[in-house]
Amino acid sequence: MTSWGNRDRAEQKAGRFLKELQAQDLHDQLDAVRDYLRDLTSSFSKIANRQWSHTRGRAADTMHEAEEIMKDNLAASLVVALDVSVLIGCLIRRGTE
């Protein structure tokens, strides 16, 4: 009987040790995933900020070019603006009738 009792206690100790070991492994894996996600979000943030700056710069350049074209062709710009405003007015009036 003593050998069975010793074996049961040994199995219980081994089971507790394995549970602790698995918990530590899980904890280590979660730390690794957390670090990976932190690095990934940091990289994504840097790329997104770079792309946003690039896009904002291109939009500003396009806006300046459009302003220059409008200044160079002021009469045509005014005619186009007038035509668009008349068209919008007609659409609004037709929609309310």
pTM reported for the whole predicted model: 0.46
* Domain assignments of the chain as residue spans, ordered by start: 2-96
* Distance of alpha carbon 56 from alpha carbon 18, whole angstroms: 56
pLDDT per residue of the chain (97 residues) written in tens, 0 to 9: 456 666 777 777 777 766 776 777 778 888 888 999 999 999 999 999 999 999 999 999 999 998 888 788 888 888 888 999 999 999 998 877 6
Cα atoms found within 13 Å of the Cα of residue 62, Cβ hemisphere only:
6
